[in-house]
Amino acid sequence: MASLSVGGAHSSLRIPSLFPTPPTIRMLKHHPVLNCTPFFPTPSLFSPKNLSLRSSNHRAGIAWMSTTTSPVGKDDQKLISGQPNEKVVQVSSWIDYLPKEIQPFAKLARVDKPIGTWFLIFPFAWSATLAAASGSIPDFRNLAVFACAAPFFRGAACTINDFFDRDFDKMVERSKERPMASGAVTPFQGLCFFAFQLLLSHGIFLQLTNYSWIIEAAFIFLSCTYPLMKRLTYWVQAYLGLTINWGSILGWYAVKGSLQPSIVLPLFLSGCFWTILYDTIYAHQDKQDDVKVGIKSTALKFGESTKEWITGFAIASIGTLALTAYNAALGRPFYVFLAAASGQLAWQIRTANLSSPADCNRKFVSNKWFGALIFCGILLGRIFP
């Protein structure tokens, strides 16, 4: 049974523990640099020897922290004694508890990172809710069907992305451990997994009230060609916007069986502008590696003017959402939530540290709240016209 040491290095008092010492703690305890035991002083707290020991351990602690954080930009490097290249620590997730044969495929589908699935669901949910009759709730059956299909469709999109990018991913710090880049999954296995997920999502899409194979085929085409755009244009985030917001077209059609351009088009454009905003912030994580390997992005295109550009896209997204609401005759509750969502975007842009990959990722993930606010606004605006 593991036990907990109390006191300094010379203390003999040990208290039994009901829980085994985690492997990470055992590793730190015996590591020559990360050993946490010397941080607890001996009884002579203020002896010169111990003051020197505590000072050296403080410096070791700083060195330890600077090598276990996420990669940072130039501004952050000044705060950690000029560390130019920081190591990325892979944080464990629930995937690690799955059978070893399944783990690479679960990572390939990004099942432990649901934010991409939310970005697929929101445009569909917005559109399907807008298509509901005034004064009534949306058809939750269609929402449930798409919510079930979205993880598989998103997983297929991630898989084909990693298939095309496997050689580039090997040279990018954040993505070099992805299954196909690391060799845990072969390209052939990846393609088979892609087809399997696509088949599952297709079977679920067929359960929509009104299904269109043309809309789904366009959805698949955009998803499969998106990875290639990184080689061709700096506006790859705009192409991603077309791809990930295609659900706004599918959502309206699933309910109505037809399209109403005065509502669907501005809604689709608002989602595209929003995607450019959040994915430009996301792309700033890899901008240094992207330059080295020849990958294009709006983060590189906008450069030091990124905040001015994404402010413009935020205004465009909010403006087209307001136009959508006006054309759909939504009630006043929508505009209250639209104002709150505008504040969320303003907070992102104002506080984003584009030189810090960790902060860029936090701002990127925070967009789930924007999507949720807009959905709540549309729902209440439809129920209370």
* Stretch 53-66: mean pLDDT: 40
Indicate whether 37 belongs to any domain: no
CA dist 355 and 14 (Å) reads 46
Task: Examine residue 25 and state whether it is found in any structural domain, yes or no.
Answer: no
Could you report how far apart the first and last alpha carbons of the chain are, in Å?
Answer: 64
- Please give the model's pTM, rounded to 2 decimal places: 0.76
Using CB atoms within 10 Å of the CB of residue 293, give its burial: 0 to 12 exposed, 13 to 18 middle, 19+ buried. Answer: middle
292-327, pLDDT tens digit by residue? 888 999 999 999 999 999 999 999 999 999 999 999
368 located within any domain? yes
Q: In terms of pLDDT, which residue wins out, 248 or 66?
A: 248
Q: Can you give the residue range of the structural domain that contains 208?
A: 96-381
Q: What is the count of structural domains for the chain?
A: 1
Residue 352 lies in a domain: yes
Residue at 73 is within a domain: no
What local confidence, expressed as pLDDT, does residue 91 receive?
Answer: 57
Dist. CA 200–CA 209, nearest whole Å? 18
For residue 21, being part of any structural domain is answered with: no
CATH number, domain at 154? 1.10.357.140
Tell me whether residue 10 is in a domain. Answer: no
Separation of alpha carbons 41 and 30, rounded Å: 18
Alpha-carbon distance of 15 to 237, in angstroms, equals 56
Does a structural domain hold residue 261?
yes
